[in-house]
Structure 1
Amino acid sequence: MRVMVCVAFGLLCMTGSVAASSRDLTMEAVNGASDPSVASEGDVSPILIKAQVLLDRARFSPGVIDGRDGENVRNAIRAFERAHELEADGTVDEALLAKLNGTSSDPVLMSYTIAEDDVKGPFTAIPERMEDQAKLERLSYSSPEELLAEKFHMDINLLKELNPGKRFDRAGESIVVANVASPDGAKDRPKADRVEVVKNERIVRVLGKDGAVLAVYPASIGSEEKPAPTGSYTVKAVAHNPVYTYNPDYGFKGVKAKEKFEIEPGPNNPVGTVWIDLSIESYGIHGTPEPEKVGKAYSHGCVRLTNWDAEDLAGMVKKGRRSIFSTDARRPRLNRRWRNSTGRASDPRPLRCHAF
């Protein structure tokens, strides 16, 4: 996860609104936030932190939780509003907050004591060049801050803003983090019947047998050099902690190697921590080492999600399920009876991925 400079537009640009101060970002202030009119223009907003965490928990992912406005959170809000028969305007208002609060009563921020496993490493400085990455034994996290931010689906800058003066490299330190635990837990994920990759919205949408929306994730989809396909395909397998194999036939910009090479597993592997293999050769849905760029930057042709969203999706699909790439997939039926159906995660054979 590399720190990026965010450009925020503000969900509700209210006259006279002020930037959030450190006092506004206390755990109590964020957990108790209820007034959408105080969303800060161009800065971190307690009400947006709350909305993002609740959306994440409900599987309408905003991507990286950063407390700022942007395309990813607006898409997540619209998807949630459509699924719950609200006006799909992509803004935080009282109707949206009422529905979000109804999905979970748990606080959105919580205290967390840094564990020994969080700080013991090893941590690895990740070089930019893929050829240099191939020399590493593992593409581990680069720091405890990166590990903790990804563990709680957060932007590193927000993690630091919520914890002024705190150390992240010391076990036993108490910090404030996003409470992103899903109500049904990882073991009881809903069962996907169909996965839709909607190119023009830059989202992946997961549907159940009755057509109800089970999850929506922001995604980077294809590129001009290697556009994502259009059509209907099936899931062939799911690989956790995949080895990435670079094929020089694709001629990625900045990669000069003329022969194939492999990059070892880890959260900073080019395809992240999971690869969902599709029935079209060299294409898949996968994680990323740069979650803050998901939905904002194109991939090399496949579908890139944050690592945590890719892992969540991997737990909902199984071999043979359809994955539909489309410019504009048909709108799913309204989720009139919001529920979490359950299903087992598949456990297919390991595989090596050969392209983004």
Structure 2
Amino acid sequence: MQERVTNALLPRVRLGVLALALSLCLPLPALARQGGASASEASAVDPTASRPSADAPNADGWLRVQVLLDRAHFSPGEIDGVHGSNTARAIAGFQRHQGLETSGELDDATWRALTESAPAATVAHTLEAADVAGPFVDLPEDMAAKAKLEALGYESPEEALGERFHASPDLLRRLNPGARFAAGESIRVPNVLDGVAPLPQADKVVVDKSDAVIMLVDAADKVLAQYPATMGSEHDPLPIGEWTINGVARDPVFHYNPDLFWDAEPSDEKAKIPAGPNNPVGVVWVDLSKPHYGIHGTPEPSTIGKTESHGCIRMTNWSAKALSDAVAPGTAAVLRE
């Protein structure tokens, strides 16, 4: 059984048509979210906030921690100012990288290493017309209805800006109370772009099921970057083994076949789902030598690391982009328990 992802735009690596079984690539229902108070309930952000702790939630401090981890290429996933499982995984990865005790907890040594450069947690960004031009669309849930759209674009300026600055739309609203998100407006955004060192090419990609992370590793086996991920389920397990990357497709078109989904509705029909950030596989497909499997983006960044998948490996769209820029055809991909 095969389905296809095709390219709406010319990919960095020309692959033509990429085959995959789509029973591997849609999210399953979300697990309970971990963390403290919601970001929308937190106070205004202090970019110089002191070290927070999991026992005493501090939205200002956790926002700064998440931004600093993101800048160091140890991604906490969608930045929301809330301590949770993805942030703990990112802290543990950063600790290993720094040669510190690996606890996943923000101890004094980790805080000192993380804040050594001490950039501001947020920066001002003046919205240009292109930032808020859209077109923004109301997305239907039904696959057949999605297939009728020209593209699966963003639903709001906040969603588009959230993906650009690795943040939840709720966080952007909290940082900018009363903002209209209109051209000419100055807003505060997470400081995740300016002055961030680019990633070198990776020697291999390691997908770790037990930690629910993807790592980019160099030839000396040093971790260059780490990202939270969603991978596999009881029905569609992760294909453990050593594979290689065939290539990268950007802005893929998704070919939905309900016959391949154990949880599809009986009334569902085949559908060709257009490209866009809200496409079921996001904006990037990294094709693996294991037939029908790949690493890809998602339309739901808040679910990464907190749901199961139909077998493929899902990341936030921005993490999938970063990974795709650091790999090439032939790069090793190790999928392990």
TM-score, normalized by length of structure 1? 0.81
Letter in 1 for 2:97: A
How far is the alpha carbon of 1:253 from its aligned partner? 2.1
**Contact kept? 1:197, 1:204, Cα under 8 Å:** yes
**SS of residue paired to 1:50:** helix
How far is the alpha carbon of 1:35 from its aligned partner? 3.4
How far is the alpha carbon of 1:191 from its aligned partner? 1.0
**SS of residue paired to 2:252:** coil
Letter in 2 for 1:149: G
Percent sequence identity is: 45
Match of 1:270 among 280, 292, 312: 280
Q: Distance in 1 between matches of 2:142 and 2:40?
A: 38
Q: Distance in 2 between matches of 1:287 and 1:240?
A: 10
Aligned: 1:297 with 2:307 = yes
Match of 2:22 in 1: none
Unaligned runs of 5+ in 1: 11-17, 328-356
Task: Write out aligned runs for 1:24-39 (5 A).
Answer: 24-26=43-45, 29=46, 31-36=47-52
Match of 1:172 in 2: 184
Match of 1:217 in 2: 227
**Contact kept? 1:129, 1:254, Cα under 8 Å:** no
Q: 1:246 to 1:21 in 2, by over 3 A?
A: closer
Task: Write out aligned runs for 1:156-235 (5 A).
Answer: 156-168=169-181, 170-181=182-193, 183-185=195-197, 188-235=198-245
Q: 1:40 to 1:117 in 2, by over 3 A?
A: farther
Letter in 2 for 1:315: D
How far is the alpha carbon of 1:25 from its aligned partner? 2.0
Match of 2:165 in 1: 152
User: Cα deviations across residues 124-146 of structure 1 (Å, max 9, x unaligned)?
Assistant: 11111222211111000001111
Q: Distance in 2 between matches of 1:54 and 1:115?
A: 26
Letter in 1 for 2:106: V
**Contact kept? 2:39, 2:82, Cα under 8 Å:** no
How far is the alpha carbon of 1:282 from its aligned partner? 1.1
Match of 1:79 among 75, 93, 101: 93
Aligned: 1:113 with 2:123 = no
How far is the alpha carbon of 1:92 from its aligned partner? 1.9
Q: Distance in 1 between matches of 2:62 and 2:289?
A: 38
Q: Distance in 2 between matches of 1:303 and 1:38?
A: 28
How far is the alpha carbon of 1:257 from its aligned partner? 6.2
Task: Write out aligned runs for 1:56-71 (5 A).
Answer: 56-71=70-85
**Contact kept? 1:39, 1:47, Cα under 8 Å:** no
Q: Distance in 1 between matches of 2:277 and 2:55?
A: 33
Q: Which has the higher strand share?
A: 2
Q: Distance in 2 between matches of 1:293 and 1:21?
A: 17
Q: 1:97 to 1:182 in 2, by over 3 A?
A: farther
Letter in 2 for 1:119: V
User: Cα deviations across residues 91-131 of structure 1 (Å, max 9, x unaligned)?
Assistant: 223211211122x4431211111111121111111111222
Match of 1:253 among 252, 256, 263: 263
Letter in 1 for 2:232: G
Letter in 2 for 1:36: P
Match of 1:136 among 149, 157, 161: 149
Letter in 2 for 1:163: N
**SS of residue paired to 1:201:** coil
TM-score, normalized by length of structure 2? 0.85
Q: Distance in 1 between matches of 2:121 and 2:244?
A: 36
Unaligned runs of 5+ in 2: 1-29
Q: Distance in 2 between matches of 1:255 and 1:189?
A: 42
**SS of residue paired to 2:221:** coil
Q: Distance in 1 between matches of 2:257 and 2:264?
A: 13
Q: 1:85 to 1:221 in 2, by over 3 A?
A: same
Letter in 2 for 1:90: G
Query: Relative to structure 2, which stretch is displaced further, 111-120 or 208-217?
Result: 111-120
Q: 1:38 to 1:249 in 2, by over 3 A?
A: closer
Match of 1:127 in 2: 140
Match of 1:309 in 2: 319
How far is the alpha carbon of 1:82 from its aligned partner? 1.1
How far is the alpha carbon of 1:254 from its aligned partner? 3.5
**SS of residue paired to 2:210:** helix
How far is the alpha carbon of 1:47 from its aligned partner? 0.8
Q: Distance in 2 between matches of 1:6 and 1:279?
A: 33
Q: 1:19 to 1:249 in 2, by over 3 A?
A: closer
Q: Distance in 1 between matches of 2:325 and 2:234?
A: 30
Letter in 2 for 1:25: A
Q: Give aligned pairs, total.
A: 308
User: Cα deviations across residues 60-90 of structure 1 (Å, max 9, x unaligned)?
Assistant: 0000101111111100100111111112111
